[in-house]
Structure 1
Amino acid sequence: MKLINKSILTVAITLSTASVYYAQETKDTVSTTRSKDIEEVILRGVTDIAKDRKTPVAVSTIKAAQILERQGNQELVELLNTTPSVYATKGGGGFGDSQITMRGFESRNIAVMVNGMPVNDMEGGTVYFSNWTGLSDVTSTLQVQRGLGSSKLAIASVGGTMNFLTKSADMKKGGVIRLGVGNDDYFKTSFAYNTGKSNDGWSSSILMSRQAGGTYIQNTDYESYAYYFALGWEPNKKHNFQFTLTSAPQWHDQRTFSPTIGDYIKYNPDHDNTPDRTYNSDWGYYTNSEGKSVSLANRSNYYAKPVMMLNWDFNISEKSKLSTVLYMSNGRGGGTGDLGSYWTGKFNSSGNPTTTNINSYRRADGTYNYDQIFALNNGLNAGTPYQVTDPVTGKKSTVRDGIVRRASINSHNWYGILANFQHKINDNWNISIGTDDRYYYGYHYQVVSDLYNANSYQEIANKNVVPYNVSKTYDYKQLSWNPFGGKTAPLNEQIGYSNDGEVIWYSGFGQVEYSKNNLSAFLQGSVSNQGYQRIDNFVQDGVTKQQGQTVNTKTGFKNLFGYNIKGGANYNINENHNVFANIGYYSKQPFFNSVYPSNFQVVNPTLTNEKIFSAEIGYGFRSSNFSANVNVYRTSWGDRWLRRTNQTFTLPDNTTTTGYAEISGITEIHQGVEFDATYKVTNFLELQGMFSWGDYYYKGNATGAAFDDNNNPLTLSGSSTSTTLYLDKVKVGGTSNNSIPQMTASLGATVKPVKDLSIFGTWRYVGKLYSSIDIATFSNEAAQEKGVMKLPDFNLFDLGISYKIRLKDAAQYFTVGANVYNLFDTTYISDASTNNFTKGVGDFKNNANATAQQQYDAYLSTLYKGIDPSNRVLFGFGRTWAATLSFNF
């Protein structure tokens, strides 16, 4: 195995490792005791790239050529949909809002890394792929390891590991210019150039790109930039330095609320009783001074996350090497939504429930009527003005009920160091030890984004500091390019909430590897400490009380210890057959919001680590024209804690309110079988296929509690604020606006009728697709029998073509390509948020006008493919397309 430039952790990992997954390994007899065998099994540095027929994990690899050829205007993670046990969707449909699950686990429990550097949010484990849209331009290899994976780090790779390996600074001299167009005004341009390595060991690489337009969904305009700069220096054979700077500042309008099936049908302009898959309930329009309609989104996202990395690889001797990386990430941005008493529809100035909320201001097409909302805020249609008292000065001011748009800021400063020392004892044994240390400070607060024609905003609860009346607004389309910037708003302009999260992480890891003849094995272990501190800027030291306790602005650090141990072995029976097995146990620290539940300054009294046990066995076959893999796995996840946001609750008095749910004591079982294969029929035809079957279910019951948006506990039934969730044997669904399939399959073909021409197509099947769990449904024991709502299976077809036009100079050529996604314009539900089951005759009461059977028959006629239309869902995109033209020189 050869590593270009021998750089381990940032920009210098290239196609020379995992991308030879099928092409070169088939001819390796691996039956000798050559010293290079240990080099091939070493999981170098901290990138932990799996080696075929060596590393005992389930792995899939996507090469740069596939990304450039097939991505078009898809989300980058959607390319993984043809790998076993992976389900990637577009989420709400906004730019970069994709969601992914692996073996039934969501992205917060999948370790996402860029050149081995963890990028999961240190507070909640989330990954916002809109922050990483520039990766598609600079990724040389995307490797996915399902299950616990081979990473040495103390990371939460419960479902698997995704490692994006970017292009190196010392690539061959040359450049590329690309142009892309697609549906809904998609337009992308990019330019990249590599200098190559000079005689003095210097090299550099640069990329700049811009894309803009909309997606398939209504009012999802966006603008995104990406920049990438890499500088390398290799003064001698002992030292190699690499510096990288990359970011993808963007803004995009969104659809974050999943509408009901009934609304998709109701607001279809064709009125043909079919759903309008493009419908977006999170926008509207108003009439400007010139009498023209102007669109306005109430849900948008904006972010810039510059990442800087400095690598140093030190070849101490022929047997010893030290790899170190320093990195920094300063993210700036947030997302918008609405605030105000008319938005929540919960209480008026007298503290009584209101009957009017923002949904009262919808037009006949389902969009918001901002002309009416502006009039409301201007006092033209509002109720009687009333006075509120400043709790500090005692001054009274006059306010009205109304609606404004807020921006919830989620910025951070993140610094870290990764170091790994490797030593080859002899031809068979290798050891490595290292450390992964990080510091994270997150800023969370709200500001006013648009006053909707009001003069200022003031909360009745007076959460913000003096002067309480806030008139400063922040436009989300003003991108932040400054990687060193601090908070964007002073405290007296913050509303709603203002809290910071501070996380200190330090860990150590070690690994022992063995390789001889046909056997390779490893044993890994790591320990880590995570310290969490919550800082609430609206809390007064020794004065504020929460949950019966007097709290301070700073909680002090709560330290949690965690560890993991895992190992595996691979045995090559001969040059065609190999078998492997791995096993591991994690004691995983919970996320930040489970340490300080209910958004309070009080530590969770039942806080405990989550326990994960996983085992897997696999078989591989390799020949000159056929390769296949079969894996069987089982993962048990106990003591899981979960928060579900954007929930709607029905209270005992039949009124509704919005809020969130917290669930503890969850145990999940994830087990299944995976198969994937590649068959090169001829030099002109290659087939690829996969199949995965899973059985994901909850074991035992759990405990849940509901809270409104102001963190007040809610009583859903009886008099208790907590409830038993009857989940035993219920299938695992998503935990937000997403669903999880337990059966997937795909079959693809690539045809090359003539040189430089490729025609490729893919069929994909998704089945056993289950909706999200929700606390309201499963607090009823009867719901346990019904389980989570199962969505209709679906089949999708994609088709693409690529042709290379070579010039006289071999280094110069044009490439033209086109892709059509969802070729047959299939209508399907990709995700769901609720579990409103189809009713039976007994659910209808007799009345003077119709019998229960007649009512039931009428009800059945309203169902959509057997699903109650009151369910909130996200429909997948219809037919879309993209075309590209590039010039390499």
Structure 2
Amino acid sequence: MKKSFAAFIALLLPVLAAAQFSISGKITNQQTGEALTGTTITLTNSALNAIAGVDGKYHLDNLKSGTYTLKVSFIGYHPVTKTITLNADVVSDFALQPGTMLTEEVTVSATRASATSPTAYTNLSKKDIDKNNSGRGFEYLLEQTPSTVVSSNAGAGVGYSSIRIRGSDATRINVTLNGIPMNDAEDQGVYFVDLPDLASSVDNIQVQRGVGTSTNGAGAFGASINIQTTTRRDTAYTEINSSAGSYGTVKNTLNLGTGLLGGKFSFDGRASEITSDGYIDRSASTLKSFFLSGAYYGKKSVLRLNVFSGYEKTHQAWDGVPEDSVKYGNRRYNELGYIDATNSYYKNQTDNYTQNYYQLLYNQQISDKISFSGALHYTRGYGYYEEYKNNEPVSAYGLKPVIIGTDTLANTDLVRRLWLSNYFYGATYNFTYKPQKNFNLVVGGAYNEYKGDHYNNIEWTQQSTTIPPDYEYSRNTAKKTDFNIFSRAEYRVGDLILYGDLQYRHINYSFLGFDQNLNNVQQDVSLNFFNPKAGLTYELNQQSNIYASVAVGNHEPNRSDFVNSSPASRPKSEHLTDFELGYRISQPTFGGSINGFYMLYKNQLVLTGALDDVGEAIRTNIKDSYRAGIEVSGWVKLAEQLTWSANASLSENKVKNFNQVLFDEDYNPVNTQYKSTDIAYSPGFVGASTISYHPIKNGEIAFISKYVGRQYLDNTSTLSRSLDGYFVNDIRLNYNFKLKGVKNVGIGLLVNNVFSKKYQSDGATYPDIEGGKVVNYNYFFPQAPVNFLASLNLKF
């Protein structure tokens, strides 16, 4: 297979073009001469673009001779367009004039790190997003960022997917969309499956690792993911994107927009549908979504309304495949929905959910020194999962056994629906004050409310139970309020930049839980958190800097932690002190960073490795634990048409004095104390590599690799309860060209797992004591062997 692959690649690589040139230069502020880091440079008649580095410099390569139009744009500055005739390498500098028309990037700037922030982060541009947006879950866009592990429940990337960064799962990763929280208010996870094909409406993403900057919503313990959706496009467009591939996967997307009308208005829209059979048995998905956006642009203000929605129907694959089945070669076996010994399965064993979003975003330039950004938001979600349950005691559903003749029917097979209907709404705001070049102050905050109704119905029973159809056997309501205020300042003294960030957060959560007497009653919890951060950055020169920071984060337990406890056993909030030290460099032909971190936890809620009956992770407080490691990332231009980017994370993730409790056949507890073990789901090494070759103009061949080290399924470092490390390779092919009447035709091919590596990227474990010995019940999420997605993009 490897020899065949090498031969295939050799055939794809044509002779290098004879004449290839470059355009480079520096972008500065016309008034102050300050380098403008992050400026976007676009070739309007080509698919190429670039982002100016820390020193304001940019570089565009692999250009044939000819005439090109360069457009240079940056937040708060007038864009500049220049025509260049290229028959040799050209250096073209730009000095931008501060503009009077506000741009909407200020919506997210208050919660983002900049090139001089003492924070480890990665930016993904729209170009980065588009080339990887072939139909898999949103999490896969981030798979090549440092310290990141992504997994698919269905095994082929469509449906429920999960992400961990620095070993922390989505419940500790703060996610905001246009500065508005996306994490579920109760379980704190993020379910991108509820917004299928969100990537097609995203302009840029920033991933911050560690505590990061102050932001809205859930506390960030592993990372923050800051997403910005569609921004202004000045010309009208229509785009059709279609993908098709293995396991019946099909994706169709229509994007369209008016461009800027009368210099004041713009309207954008998208509709998407994704279907897939999945790799795991009965893991099919039907996903639909739309995105509508309208904006008004004044000289000093921007008003935008976003209305978008997602619908998902996925068959349940969240328990994984039993270890014995994997060992015997059936890596696709799904036992959820099993009815009886005839190998029959319940066909409607599905998860069904709809989520509607409304966002009103407003930006105002109050003066040349002060700007304001605010948002109102409302989210409405509702849905259920339906499941078949075998031989259930009717008393568990508040029913009395039915007596028929001489028989007492105390158990029955049944079908139940577990419903969630919720509302989430609130406001966010921030003011930015920049009185002089060397000082910047941001003050912001948010207030959000959540209300969630949890209720459960019986749809059908095998035995007569005298209940009416759609019988509701339980209901409870949860309410949560979340208030925060923060202030962040940066002050420059020569080449030294001082950074300070203070946040206060108050939470009140009302839920149905156990009281002191273990009766189920409504409970109430109030928490107050203070999260200070401080750091400094020293600019060695215009191309590089070093930084150091210390940040404190606090994080509340989630719904499952609360409702399964009483006031006496209620879990404690988590506390984290995060130390970061790093170095960054940006040059025309290479760039990179090295970052060291030490994350010291108090009362961290660690995963035990088990899941409850709806797939939620079970956690327990650990008094002392830590993560310590180093992250290295970079890119280098090996040749005119050849670029290599890579990152690697080496870490030690330890739990101190972990007490594992197992139960024997009589449900007697058996305790085992461990002095120092690895934190569950925290690999000691994670690496990624992308080798990108441009054999022809607008054509790319990329060889993409990912390595993830061993992951333990619980906190005991037991080899028999772990996932083997894996090394997986993909190929991505992209080519763009023009046709008469079509601005751009893009064709792509993504071949995943080209060597058909057999591996499991996630799992769960349920050990117990049987006959005096520990017996493991492990479940794995096997990922698909070699599979592909072919894509076609048409722009008009």
Q: State the distance in 2 between where 1:126 and 1:745 align.
A: 25
**What does residue 305 of structure 1 align with?**
355
- Cα distance, 1:692 vs structure 2: 0.9
**CA distance 1:74–1:15, change in 2 (3 Å):** farther
Instruction: Provide Cα deviations, 1:170-224, integer angstroms capped at 9, x if missing partner.
Output: 4532110122111121112111111111125111100011121311121222211
AA aligned to 1:529 is H
Across the aligned residues of Structure 1 and Structure 2, the Cα RMSD in angstroms comes to: 4.0
Number of corresponding residues: 712
The match for 2:679 is 732
Distance 1:321 1:604, change over 3 A: farther
Corresponding residue for residue 458 of structure 2: 448
**Could you tell me which residue of structure 1 aligns to residue 759 of structure 2?**
828
Q: Which runs of 5 or more residues in structure 1 are unaligned?
A: 3-12, 37-41, 266-272, 352-384, 389-395, 459-467, 473-492, 537-544, 650-657, 708-713, 734-738, 774-783, 845-867
Match of 1:789 in 2: 721
Q: Deviations over 1:463-507 (max 9, x none)?
A: xxxxx71422xxxxxxxxxxxxxxxxxxxx322x32211001112
Distance in 1, matches of 2:370 and 2:704, equals: 46
1:199-210 matches, cutoff 5 A: 199=262, 201-210=264-273
For the 8 Å contact 1:514–1:521, the answer to whether it is kept is: yes
Asked if 1:28 corresponds to 2:56, the answer is: yes
User: Which amino acid counterpart does residue 264 of structure 1 have in structure 2?
Assistant: V
1:757-776 aligned at under 5 Å gives the runs 757-773=699-715
Out of 639, 654, 662, the position equivalent to 1:697 is 654
Verify the 8 A CA contact 1:814 1:888 in the aligned structure 2: yes
- Give the 3 Å change call, closer, same or farther, for CA 807–79 of structure 1 in structure 2: same
Deviation at 1:316, TM superposition (A): 1.2
Partner deviation per Cα, 1:817-854 (whole Å, 9 max, x = no partner): 111100011111222322769x9xx989xxxxxxxxxx
| 1:675-734 C-alpha deviation (Å, 9 max, x unpaired) | 111111233111111111111110233586999xxxxxx98436xxxx76634311011x
Q: Residue 744 of structure 2: which of 813, 823, 842 is its match?
A: 813
Q: Deviations over 1:27-68 (max 9, x none)?
A: 4389xxx998xxxxx994554464553122111122333333
Structure-2 residue corresponding to 1:686: 643
- Shift in Å at residue 438 of structure 1? 0.4
Contact 2:110–2:430 under 8 Å retained in 1: no
Residue 604 of structure 1 and its aligned partner are, at CA, apart by: 4.7
| Counterpart in the other structure of 1:530 | 507
Cα offset for 1:513?
A: 1.7
Is 1:387 matched up with 2:356? no
User: In structure 2, how many angstroms separate the alpha carbons of the residues matched to 1:15 and 1:123?
Assistant: 39
Q: Alpha-carbon deviation of 1:608?
A: 3.7
195, 202, 213: which one pairs with 1:150? 213
The code of the aligned residue for 1:807 comes to: L
Unaligned runs of 5+ in 2: 1-25, 28-37, 59-95, 99-103
Q: Does 1:196 align with 2:103?
A: no
1:317 counterpart SS class: coil
Following the alignment from structure 2 to structure 1, what is the Cα–Cα distance between the partners of residues 181 and 630?
28
- The answer for the alignment partner of 2:23 in structure 1 is none
SS of match in other structure, 2:321: coil
1:280 and 2:212 correspond: no
Q: Aligned equivalents of 1:645 and 1:792: distance in 2? A: 15
TM superposition shift of 1:142: 2.2
1:134 aligns with 2:197: yes
Matched, 1:548 2:525: no
Q: Does 1:314 align with 2:350?
A: no
* Comparing 697-706 and 140-149, the one that deviates more: 697-706
User: Cα deviation per residue 1:583-605 (whole Å; 9 max; x = unaligned)?
Assistant: 1112333334444434xxx5456
491, 515, 526: which is aligned to 1:559?
Answer: 526
Structure 1 pair 98–21 and aligned structure 2 pair: CA distance change class (3 A):
farther
- Aligned residues of 1:666 and 1:702 also touching (Cα < 8 A): no
Aligned: 1:799 with 2:731: yes
Of the candidates 300, 305, 316, which is equivalent to residue 243 of structure 1? Answer: 305
Does the aligned pair in 1 maintain the 2:214–2:502 contact within 8 Å?
Answer: no
Which residue of the partner structure matches residue 414 of structure 1? 424
Counterparts of 1:287 and 1:607, CA distance in 2: 41
Given residue 542 of structure 2, which amino acid in structure 1 is its aligned partner?
E
Checking the alignment, whether the CA contact within 8 Å between 2:650 and 2:686 is kept in structure 1 is yes
Q: Distance in 2 between the 1:98 and 1:305 partners?
A: 17
- In structure 1, distance between residues paired with 2:641 and 2:422: 50
Q: Structure 1's 659 and 255: CA in aligned 2 closer, same or farther, altered over 3 A? A: closer
* 8 Å contact from structure 2 (residues 317, 336) kept in 1: yes
How far apart are the structure 2 equivalents of 1:44 and 1:517?
A: 26
The reply on whether 1:423 has 2:433 as its aligned counterpart is: yes
Distance 1:302 1:311 in 2: 30
Which deviations, in whole Å up to 9, do the C-alpha atoms of 1:736-780 show, x marking residues without a partner? xxx33221112211111111211111122111322234xxxxxxx
Q: Secondary structure at the match of 1:313?
A: strand
Relative to structure 1, is the Cα distance of residues 615 and 181 closer, same or farther in structure 2, using a 3 angstrom cutoff?
A: same
On the 8 A contact 1:789/1:835 being kept in 2, the answer is no
Give TM-score, length-normalised by structure 1.
0.73
The percentage of counterpart residues that share the same residue type is 19
2:200 aligned with 1:222, yes or no?
Answer: no
**C-alpha displacement at 1:256, in angstroms?**
1.8
The verdict on how the C-alpha distance between 1:176 and 1:785 changes in structure 2, with shifts beyond 3 A counting, is closer
Quick check: 412-421 or 560-569, which moved more? 560-569
Whether contact under 8 Å (1:731, 1:770) holds in the other structure is yes
Deviations 1:42-100 (Å, cap 9, x if unpaired)?
99455446455312211112233333323423222123222211111113548431111
The answer to whether structure 1 residue 508 and structure 2 residue 571 are counterparts is no
What is the aligned partner in structure 2 of residue 116 from structure 1? 179
Q: Secondary structure at the match of 1:402?
A: strand
Aligned to 2:320: 258
Confirm or deny: 8 A CA contact 1:663 1:703 kept in the other structure: no
Paired with 2:257 and 2:398, the residues of 1 have a C-alpha distance of: 63
Distance of aligned partners of 1:764 and 1:642 in 2 relative to their CA distance in 1, 3 Å threshold: closer
The one-character-per-residue Cα deviations of 1:485-532 (angstroms, maximum 9, x if unpaired) are xxxxxxxx322x322110011121111222355333321111121111
> How many Å apart are 1:425 and its aligned residue?
2.7
CA distance in 2, matches of 1:888, 1:605: 58
Letter in 2 for 1:191: L
- Paired position in structure 2 for 1:519: 496
Give the aligned residue type for 1:300.
T
TM-score, normalised by the number of residues in structure 2: 0.81
Q: 1:667 aligns with which of 624, 639, 653?
A: 624
Residues 606 and 679 in structure 2, CA contact (< 8 A), matched pair in contact too: no
Once the two structures are superposed, residues 304-341 of structure 1 have per-residue CA deviations (whole angstroms, 9 ceiling, x without a partner) of 1111000111211111112110000011113233335x
In structure 2, what is the Cα distance between the partners aligned to 1:525 and 1:583?
A: 12
Q: Aligned to 1:742, which of 665, 681, 684?
A: 684
Residues 551, 250 of structure 1: CA spacing in aligned structure 2 closer, same or farther, 3 A cutoff?
closer
TM-superposed CA distance for 1:667, in Å, is 3.1
